[in-house]
Structure 1
Amino acid sequence: MKRIYDFGRRPSARNYTVADLKALKGSGRKLSMSNPANAAELRACVEAGIDLLVVWAEQIEEVRQIAPHHFAGVGSTWAQFGTLPEIMDHAFEMMRKGGDMYYTLRSYDVMEALAKEGIPVQSHIGLIPTFSHYSGGLRAFGRTADEAMEIYRTLKRMEDAGVFAVEAECIAEEVLEAVNGKTSIVTFSLGSGKAGDVIMSFVADICGEASEESKPPKHAHAFGNVGRLHRQIHEERVAALNAFHSEVAAANFPYPQTNISMHPDEKDKFLEALDKAS
């Protein structure tokens, strides 16, 4: 645990710092990363020993309550803000509230402007679901030499802009392996093989919560079967509601043991008073 001042100028501590993540390159050590979506998932990540967190903006204060010492990335979606001043204001707000890096999909100019202000900037290469229109749908990247070189060039442009880390999503593993040592950028591999400095996966995928109908991606390996428990809870809920409905329809519920009764002899007094009142 490293003693630090966070970006809000508060004394704190972190399991990993920006410097620690940069030092991963070439070390052979891998860290785990996931994206808890609520307090329960956040607590589970902490108890399980997940190294790094990435969360939505509205979660950051809760993260600092439940996981005060975990490195946590936060950011904005591509269309969330229209102008650089809006993005900059949001980035500073997230860092003041306890964020450790800021994610953006915006232009190199925006990335550079954030980095010049001392904000650890994270971006995204490979499959970017937001831009799947341009790529002809959700697909893998870097399976041809030309596309692999474009990934490298994009990575170097981000590096020149001051980007600190990238999510490398659904890139051919040979490509990430080849380019990872040629950049100072910390890579978070999501479906891009073992060469990333950090190995990332979604909580729902790790825990086996995706339904077969949702067609989870190839990299979504389930280490558990929480989906089975969700289905069991749903079945139990439906059965309970059905039993309640049936008992009401049959005029059996509420049951005597669930009702409230007057104190002894008070009913007679009440009925006598009621008769006189009417």
Structure 2
Amino acid sequence: MSVHSASTPAAATRASVSLPRLRDMVARGEKVTMLTAYDATFARIIDDAGVDVLLVGDSLGNVIQGETSTLPVTLEHMAYHTQCVRQGRRSAWLVADMPFGSYEASPQQALASAVALMRAGAQMVKLEGAGPMVETVRFLVERGIPVCAHIGLTPQRVHALGGFRVQGRDDAAAAILKAEAAALAEAGADMIVLELVPSALARDITLAHPRMITIGIGAGAGTAGQVLVMHDLLGITSGKRPRFVRDFTRVAGTEADAPGLSIAQAVQAYVAAVKDGSFPDETQHGY
């Protein structure tokens, strides 16, 4: 499939997505769609399929580099892939992950890393955690850099968390996540990814902070939007498929070996399912 063949008339005329536009979508109840992208070709296909936000995720460590975690990914890797995605982007909002070790030392280190990613084409940077990161978020926002926060399961801290586990299951842990979300919102984060948290908790955080756009992954249907790793959506991730993932290349009601959807059609199906509320399904994909 060529990049050109994935284009649609709607894609060619879609206005550029901006933060005000994303906020307007949330205010009128329209779900925000986010999907990872790592190169120009897939970025164009995903953008043309109508995805609102492209995320250059440090998940490239797993799905592109073949690593067992995101920890080996460097700032240079992220800047390179951000530049590639920028080349394929047509109108979607572009977010880039700040990789492990590129922002934790100080707000000044975070600023230098964020500048590198913005110069590569990012319109927003994403960092994991709260606590000392709250002041880093404030430092970046005060200097005109839009920030997406990330709490719950934070892959860069997977060893400290004891593995890929649902976070915030008990009352005490849920209270901590609520406090973290409130602190990040107060610091100026415009967006926040809630990963692997109970659906009810994600819904509570979303309702408590209407200005901060909540994006769920394994967090139920009550968030303002959803994100998936592109390879998961296409059913090509090796190993056990997480509960919150759906293979959108498969047509519902067909046998496993039946012809599936094209990449562009699968992404369009994802967009449609998030927008109409049929994905995620709480009984199948939530906790």
Q: Would you call these one fold, judging by a TM-score over 0.5?
A: yes
In structure 2, the gaps of 5 or more residues are 1-13, 57-77, 251-256, 258-287
1:217 matched residue in structure 2: 242
Counterpart of 2:102 (choices 57, 80, 91) is 80
Q: CA RMSD in A?
A: 2.1
Partner Cα separation in structure 2 for residue 37 and residue 205 of structure 1: 14
Contact 1:14–1:71 (Cα < 8 Å) also in 2: no
- Secondary structure, aligned partner of 1:125: strand
Q: Return the letter of the residue paired with 2:233.
A: I
Contact 1:180–1:187 (Cα < 8 Å) also in 2: yes
- Secondary structure, aligned partner of 1:23: helix
Mapped pair 1:199 → 2:226: yes
2:206 matched residue in structure 1: 180
Contact 1:64–1:98 (Cα < 8 Å) also in 2: yes
Distance verdict in 2 for CA 1:69–1:26, change over 3 Å: closer
For these two proteins, the number of residue pairs brought into alignment is: 212
Mapped pair 1:66 → 2:66: no
Query: 1:138 offset after TM fit, Å?
Result: 1.1
Q: Return the letter of the residue paired with 2:98.
A: S
Higher relative contact order (CA 8 A, sep 6+): 2
Partner Cα separation in structure 1 for residue 55 and residue 249 of structure 2: 21
Mapped pair 1:101 → 2:127: no
Query: 1:26 offset after TM fit, Å?
Result: 4.4
Contact 2:40–2:87 (Cα < 8 Å) also in 1: no
2:144 matched residue in structure 1: 118
Pairing of 1:124-273 with structure 2 (within 5 A)? 124-183=150-209, 184-211=211-238, 214-224=239-249
Q: Normalization by structure 2: what TM-score? A: 0.68
Give identity over the alignment, percent: 23
Q: Return the letter of the residue paired with 1:193.
A: G
Mapped pair 1:49 → 2:50: yes
Contact 1:51–1:71 (Cα < 8 Å) also in 2: yes
In structure 1, the gaps of 5 or more residues are 1-12, 229-278
- Secondary structure, aligned partner of 1:65: helix
1:239-263 CA distance string (max 9 Å, x none): xxxxxxxxxxxxxxxxxxxxxxxxx
Query: 1:14 offset after TM fit, Å?
Result: 5.5
Query: 1:216 offset after TM fit, Å?
Result: 2.3
Query: 1:156 offset after TM fit, Å?
Result: 0.4
Contact 2:34–2:228 (Cα < 8 Å) also in 1: yes
Partner Cα separation in structure 2 for residue 126 and residue 38 of structure 1: 27
- Secondary structure, aligned partner of 1:195: coil
Partner Cα separation in structure 1 for residue 138 and residue 100 of structure 2: 16
- Secondary structure, aligned partner of 1:147: helix
Partner Cα separation in structure 1 for residue 47 and residue 26 of structure 2: 24
Structure number with greater Rg is: 1
Q: Return the letter of the residue paired with 2:136.
A: V
Contact 1:126–1:171 (Cα < 8 Å) also in 2: yes
Query: 1:28 offset after TM fit, Å?
Result: 1.8
Partner Cα separation in structure 2 for residue 35 and residue 27 of structure 1: 25
Distance verdict in 2 for CA 1:140–1:64, change over 3 Å: same
Runs of 4+ in structure 1 deviating by more than 4 angstroms, as ranges, are: none
Query: 1:135 offset after TM fit, Å?
Result: 2.3
Distance verdict in 2 for CA 1:40–1:65, change over 3 Å: closer
Partner Cα separation in structure 2 for residue 70 and residue 80 of structure 1: 25
Q: Return the letter of the residue paired with 1:180.
A: T
Q: Normalization by structure 1: what TM-score? A: 0.70
Partner Cα separation in structure 2 for residue 14 and residue 92 of structure 1: 26
